[in-house]
A and B are shown apart, each in its own frame.
Chain A
């Protein structure tokens, strides 16, 4: 399993070898492929970028984009941007937590849903919004979120 993961990772990282800007694009490429950053990625990326795995982890943990645990099948992001906030996103976030029985940043035990809080997708005119996988849903209410979740259940 681990050697398989490693070879897949090397394949993802190969095009970045020798480029001037490596580290963050490498982290992004690995996360794009696996959905998260497995531990072995730190070492592999470090090798390509020419830094220690400690440095790689230091950079990865600084940025909100990177995940270190495997996400669920569907990623639900609730926008907590300003426009969404003044239109009731906080209440929406709570209702999602209640519906899914998980906190933001966690995955349901069946591996079906992950919940994340995000600050602003730039779809403010449709506030409040949630994003399921890559689809943006605008003008949300607690009732509508429940209907959308049911579609993915």
Chain B
């Protein structure tokens, strides 16, 4: 099949869709959108359109990254630009159909922004939104704009052009273009992509494999999921180009089992690409054939590590092995394998299409291009972003993320997941690239960024990550298998108020032993969250082990709840809500918490009406309160 023909047909269909006389409705149906209620909105829109007998095209799209504003619905009314509406409920959807589609009110009050050149009165431009303005979207170029289940949308937006061009190039030249781009592994380690391809190409052993690592295991990270759900073809195309460059027709994509929607969309995408001759045998009538099989992970974090991932595909326990040999020499079934991450592959087609120099025009000296991040935690605008390398953490948190809700003070940003570290305020002007983050004691990692404010306990976060790695350690290396439980027990003890001054040095000692004595990335980096947080937040660690205080009021054993007698109105709401009956009182009596019974679940604090705000949470201090309930006002 001739590619130009395919593309022309796709573009024609796409243009007809956008400039026809039917309204077009785009609705964000990635996991996050669905969780926010997008399916119910879709159903309502369907019903309402049918009821009013309005003919419209509805396109389910992926995630554009504004997760905190989901569900997002875009409406393109013939003759008007595309307008995006945020936090659309079924009721709002009905209103928009009635007021905008039927009548002519575009509802600026509900609109987030408009796309394209022409504007609508009182509606800002979508990409002027502070969360979007600093972004450069390459890997996520199509997310939120096309139907991920329709290959023609992808082709119309320039998709498979890179593959078509690559097939007309010598594999060496494709690799050279990727070298020029400076693209480095987006899974976290930052190994130059071209070098992996080059080594795999030069290996004499056959068959070879291209494997896509979509085992996005870092808790707090969802970049790969967004790309797979929103634009699966971009990954498949990148893999096919890699197959051509390396000289193989075998591709595997290893997706974590927790992403069922991504798996489903990938399968649809593979089937569609095969049908059009863009995957499978003799792609675009050339000699080149390439097949991709999906392999679902089974819930083991360590399988994000290259050698473990390959053992897992082979049907073995996912336990990393000694390297060298690296997987380009001896990977899947002992054969040369190039393993690259989802985001890496998503960047490949634009690099081939626009040239390596174009890609390298973004970013810093050593880290070229863009990087996606999942911005979460205590942040005003959580979501998925793609920014040029070299942007500062401060820009990400305050310009893009909108700062911390309630203007609370920033405490730390955790980057790189369980292998990364917590960076303090003083490092916020650090430019984000592979080298700088490593030097600061954290890592780029796959791109999770969790913002912590003063209500987050740094010791508790460290305890959390160590417990995670303890559970996920495969058990092969003794320092990792035995050291992490040791650290975990110590951290448990510290958060229980039983720490002592020597604990901090001992944690550092064990941590360094684990790093030095483990084979794979999991053990090599598991102690990072502890070591980096001791480095930057020693005061808070000392509060825990010496003063037995938790300044962030998180560690349960170190905090207490009290009902302030001069504020309690005796309404009884807290006593009824308490799950362990630790609150005594009665009508118009000042209520009292039995400290021995209290499990510090925070329910009373949540439930106490704001106008009273009678319940306080404190650490390291005792508040004078009556021992028994007394009449309200008796203490005044």
Q: With A and B bound together, what is the CA distance between A87 and B451 in angstroms?
A: 11
User: Is there a chain A Cβ closer than 8 Å to B314's Cβ?
Assistant: yes
Cross-interface CB contact of A129 among B35, B579, B603, cutoff 8 Å: B35
Instruction: Scan B177-211; emit 1 where CB is below 8 A from any A CB, else 0.
Output: 00000000000000000000000000000000000
A65-B257, A123-B31, A125-B67 known; A82-B219 Cβ under 8 A: yes
Q: With A and B bound together, what is the CA distance between A120 and B313 in angstroms?
A: 22
Assess whether A134 is in contact with B260, with CB atoms less than 8 Å apart: yes
Q: Within 8 Å CB of A62, what residues of B? A: 300, 317-318, 474
User: Is there a chain A Cβ closer than 8 Å to B301's Cβ?
Assistant: yes
Assess whether B452 is in contact with A86, with CB atoms less than 8 Å apart: yes
User: Can you show 15 pairs from A to B with CB atoms below 8 A apart?
Assistant: A24-B315, A25-B295, A64-B298, A64-B300, A65-B299, A66-B298, A91-B602, A95-B601, A119-B219, A122-B31, A123-B222, A125-B383, A136-B35, A142-B603, A142-B606
Nearest chain A residue, comparing its CB with the CB of B226 = A122
Instruction: Scan B484-500; emit 1 where CB is below 8 A from any A CB, else 0.
Output: 00000000000000000
Assess whether B314 is in contact with A21, with CB atoms less than 8 Å apart: yes
The residues in B between 17 and 48 inclusive whose CB is less than 8 angstroms from any CB of A are: 31-32, 34-36
The residues in B between 382 and 419 inclusive whose CB is less than 8 angstroms from any CB of A are: 382-384, 414, 417
A interface with B by C-beta (< 8 Å): 21-25, 27-28, 49, 58-59, 62-66, 80-88, 91, 94-95, 98, 118-127, 129, 134, 136-138, 141-143
Q: Within 8 Å CB of B316, what residues of A? A: 23, 59
Query: How many residues from B make CB contacts under 8 Å with A?
Result: 60
A81-B219, A83-B377 known; A123-B32 Cβ under 8 A: yes
Assess whether B579 is in contact with A63, with CB atoms less than 8 Å apart: no
Assess whether B376 is in contact with A125, with CB atoms less than 8 Å apart: yes
Closest 9 A/B residue pairs (Cβ): A23-B315, A125-B67, A122-B222, A81-B219, A82-B220, A63-B298, A64-B299, A136-B35, A65-B299
User: Is there a chain A Cβ closer than 8 Å to B293's Cβ?
Assistant: yes
Q: Within 8 Å CB of A136, what residues of B? A: 31, 34-35
Extra 5 A-B pairs, beta carbons < 8 Å, given A82-B218, A122-B258, A123-B32 = A49-B315, A82-B450, A83-B220, A95-B579, A142-B606
Nearest chain B residue, comparing its CB with the CB of A66 = B298
Which among A86, A136, A143 has the greatest number of chain B C-beta atoms within 10 A?
Answer: A86
User: Is there a chain A Cβ closer than 8 Å to B433's Cβ?
Assistant: no
Q: With A and B bound together, what is the CA distance between A120 and B452 in angstroms?
A: 18
Q: With A and B bound together, what is the CA distance between A82 and B218 in angstroms?
A: 9
Q: Within 8 Å CB of B220, what residues of A? A: 81-83, 120, 124
Assess whether A82 is in contact with B318, with CB atoms less than 8 Å apart: no
Q: How far is the CB of B259 from chain A (nearest CB, A)?
A: 7
